[in-house]
């Protein structure tokens, strides 16, 4: 049995001892009783990889970080997809032009590079959305094959989940040929209905296929500052009508921040009642949105506080990493949490919440509803060499140890693992 002594736990007061059984499951969590065995090794000074007893020396333990919305099929393609305007529209166009050039090896190499980097930073579960490459099923197969091999390579250090983005054209012939065959490999199906000619019709079509295949939905919703874009409202009405509560995630939800408070509040209440999880993507939306504003450019983030007040669970995630949609990013969810704080006016009192938004909250959305540091849960854990969430956000450079199902998979200092735009085919 592995034992972690003298650790703080995110969201709790005091010090704790955490025991992990041979199956990689948390056996129990109890208050630290003031004595560390002499054979326990320092988590921050020892280079040993698999000792049974660790002294975390008052570091902070949190559930394995969960990056619930990424695009690994696009990651690191920036050198080949330059977006001169910095807009969402050009980004979509640039990757569409580049996608026919993708190979399985290319997709695999980039996905593994970014996922392994994310693992070093503390991510233990990662979900990636995949372009459908509509209407070319062969181009989609290239991406799927590369991602499935990435899943195999990464399986001991990270769970990699796949979501297929359905096209903005309601093509049942395409769906019949593609979706049933892919369904066994997918965590959900998604799409970007707000980009369709008739957003509500496209959303309904995606939900119809999700119901037919008994799949969850994970959608790009209203990624625009147009307050009239309200597919989130339609989603919140359709989910309970279909009995899909708890099976829907809405990413972005940017237009919610452009509406009046009265309108946004009414929609937030519906989202809460429908038990829809929301994921904010601060890095990409701060980069893409508000460029048309001549004065006081809008931030382009959803209303996190309003959603929280309504009872909606809101997570933060990386979204795009070094591609036409976002030229920066490195897979570090601690950095994403910090950017969420800046973009949403969250102060020091929200530090615990910010780290929960990249660990416990998305874990409950896409891993299991009891995700966290509790007996019976998988020992997916991250230890930071700092005592509090606030100190972690203030420095970003804390040492990190990462366990996946009770197995130590990474020990690293953030400053030692930069990820630059060095990828080339």
- Whether 24 shows a pLDDT value over 50: the answer reads yes
Alpha-helix residue ranges (DSSP H) falling in 83-184 = 88-98, 104-121, 137-154, 172-182
Give residue 416's pLDDT.
Answer: 46
- May I ask the CATH architecture of the domain 65-366? Alpha-Beta Barrel (3.20)
Q: Is the pLDDT of residue 123 over 90?
A: yes
pLDDT of residue 425: 53
Selection from 146, 144, 131 nearest residue 97 by Cα: 131
Class of domain 2-63+372-416: mainly beta
Supply the pTM of this predicted model. 0.96
Tokens in use for 244?
């899909």
DSSP state of 78: G
Distance, CA of 166 to CA of 158 (rounded, Å): 25
DSSP string for residues in 79-106: GGS--SS--HHHHHHHHHHHGGG--HHH
pLDDT tens sequence across 298-318: 999 999 999 999 999 999 999
Q: Which residues pair with 404 in a beta bridge?
A: 407
Instruction: Report pLDDT for 421.
Output: 42
Give residue 255's region: left, alpha or beta (phi > 0; psi -120 to 50). alpha
CATH 2.30.40.10 in the chain, residue ranges: 2-63+372-416
Is the Cβ–Cβ distance between 280 and 340 less than 8 Å?
A: yes
- What per-residue confidence (pLDDT) applies to 413? 54
Domain boundaries for CATH 3.20.20.140 within the chain: 65-366
How far apart are the C-alpha atoms of 227 and 257, rounded to whole Å? 8
Q: How far is CA 135 from CA 42, 131, 168, 188, 359, in A?
A: 55, 11, 11, 20, 36
pLDDT band for position 183 (cuts 50, 70, 90): very high
Nearest-angstrom CA–CA distance, 332 and 170: 36
- Quote the longest CA-to-CA distance of the chain: 67
Listing DSSP states for 358-375 in one string gives TTHHHHHHHT-TT-SSST
Place of tokens 């590369």: 146
């Amino acid at each position: 049995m592995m034992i972690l002594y003298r650790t703080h736990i995110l969201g709790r007061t005091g010090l704790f001892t955490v025991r992990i059984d041979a199956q990689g499951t948390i056996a129990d969590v109890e208050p630290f009783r003031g004595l560390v065995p002499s054979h326990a090794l320092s988590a921050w000074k020892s280079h040993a990889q698999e000792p049974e007893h660790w002294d975390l020396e008052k570091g902070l333990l949190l559930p394995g970080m969960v990056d619930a919305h990424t695009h690994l099929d696009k990651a690191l393609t920036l050198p080949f997809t330059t977006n001169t305007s910095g807009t969402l529209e050009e980004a979509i166009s640039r990757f569409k032009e580049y996608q026919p050039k993708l190979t399985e090896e290319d997709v695999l190499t980039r996905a593994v590079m970014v996922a392994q980097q994310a693992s070093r930073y503390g991510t233990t579960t990662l979900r990636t959305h995949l372009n459908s490459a509509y209407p070319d099923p062969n181009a989609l197969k290239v991406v799927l094959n590369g991602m499935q091999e990435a899943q195999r390579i990464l399986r001991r250090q990270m769970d990699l989940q796949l979501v297929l983005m359905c096209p903005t054209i309601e093509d049942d012939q395409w769906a019949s040929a593609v979706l049933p065959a892919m369904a066994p490999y997918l965590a959900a199906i998604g799409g970007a209905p707000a980009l369709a000619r008739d957003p509500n019709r496209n959303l309904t079509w995606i939900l119809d296929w999700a119901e037919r295949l008994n799949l969850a939905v994970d959608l790009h919703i209203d990624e625009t500052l147009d307050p009239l874009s309200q597919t989130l409202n339609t989603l919140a009405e359709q989910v309970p009508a279909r009995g899909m509560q708890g099976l829907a995630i809405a990413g972005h939800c940017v237009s919610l921040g452009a509406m009046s408070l009265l309108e946004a509040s009414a929609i937030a209440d519906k989202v809460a009642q429908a038990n829809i999880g929301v994921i904010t993507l601060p890095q990409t939306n701060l980069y893409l949105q508000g460029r048309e504003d001549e004065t006081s450019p809008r931030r382009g983030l959803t209303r996190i506080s309003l959603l929280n007040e309504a009872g909606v669970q809101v997570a933060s995630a990386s979204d795009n990493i070094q591609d036409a949609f976002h030229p920066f990013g490195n897979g570090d969810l601690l950095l994403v949490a910090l950017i969420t704080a800046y973009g949403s006016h969250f102060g020091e009192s929200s530090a615990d919440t910010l780290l929960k938004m990249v660990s416990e909250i998305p874990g409950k959305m896409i891993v299991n509803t009891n995700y966290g540091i509790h007996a019976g849960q998988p020992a997916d854990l991250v230890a930071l060499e700092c005592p509090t969430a606030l100190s972690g956000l203030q420095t970003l450079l804390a040492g990190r140890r990462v366990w996946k199902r009770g197995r130590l998979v990474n020990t690293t200092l953030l400053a030692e693992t930069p990820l630059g735009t060095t990828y080339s085919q």
